[in-house]
Amino acid sequence: MLAVDEQLAAELLAMKAEDLRVRDALARDGSLFEGYHSRMEEVHRRNAARLREIIAERGWPGQSLVGQQATEAAWMIVQHDIAEPQFLRDMLEIFRKEAARGELSAKWAALTEDRIRMYEGRPQLYATNMNWNERGELVIGEVEDPERLDQRRAAVGLPPFRDPGAPPDQPPLKNPQEFYRRYVEWLQRVGWR
């Protein structure tokens, strides 16, 4: 068994910390909730570009290479890079393979699959991603085959579904219709739809 690459793990954890630091700053000033903020997108794209380099050089930074926390940080980098749809789609295939090998939790692949489906306008499989609808409500949205939802969730290590409601740090939208219009334009511009 190879030793964990502590330097690479530290780099991935630092990238995650920067993402969360910028997110927290934008949440505090309220601008995070007005659409995909350019500062957030800049961090996401920079982190994803570096992660692509790491994957090209070393392969997926799985648990045996960087440990569980850094692997989850790498997953989060992918999950947050929402302005590059093909990257998420490509990574989902890698996540499925890595989950089968035990290098990534299957639940992380499930969350990515739901994120892709949500942005593509398709029903989610695991009911894991919330988004604003045209009425300004933060909702899970449509779920495929809801009768078997909890079976699918259990198969990937997720607990039974419980609608979480809006997170406490999510203020209501000031202009839901305008927000949704810009959101749909963004989906089309970056290639989700």
pLDDT digits (tens, 9 = 90+) for 37-85: 999 999 999 999 999 999 999 999 999 999 999 999 999 999 999 999 9
35 pLDDT more than 60: yes
Domain extent at residue 117? 105-192
Question: Over the chain, what is the mean pLDDT?
Answer: 94
Share of the chain above pLDDT 70, in %: 97
Q: Are residues 1 and 60 in the same domain?
A: yes
User: What's the pLDDT band for 1 if we cut at 50, 70, 90?
Assistant: low
2 pLDDT more than 70: no
Q: What is the pLDDT of residue 136?
A: 87
Q: What is the pLDDT of residue 88?
A: 98
Distance CA 174, CA 2 (A): 52
pLDDT (mean) for 151-160: 97
Q: Are residues 111 and 70 in the same domain?
A: no
pTM across the whole model: 0.93
The last residue of one of the domains, among 51, 84, 117, is: 84
Which residues contact residue 58 at a Cβ distance below 8 angstroms, ignoring those fewer than 6 apart?
5, 8, 65
In a domain, 42, yes or no: yes
Q: Are residues 117 and 163 in the same domain?
A: yes
Q: Give the angle 91-93-94 at the CA atoms, nearest 5°.
A: 65
Q: Are residues 69 and 135 in the same domain?
A: no
Torsion of CA 88, 86, 164, 175, to 10 degrees: 140
Alpha helices in 59-192 (DSSP H): 63-66, 68-80, 85-101, 106-120, 149-155, 176-190
pLDDT per position as a tens digit, 92-113: 999 999 999 999 999 999 999 9
pLDDT (mean) for 113-133: 96
In a domain, 142, yes or no: yes
- Give the total number of structural domains in the chain: 2
In a domain, 92, yes or no: no
Chain centre distance of CA 111: 7
Q: Are residues 69 and 118 in the same domain?
A: no
Please tell me which of 2-11, 157-166, 169-178 the model is most confident about, judged by mean pLDDT: 2-11
| pLDDT: which is higher, 128 or 166 | 128
Of residues 142, 144, 146, the one with CA closest to residue 161 = 146
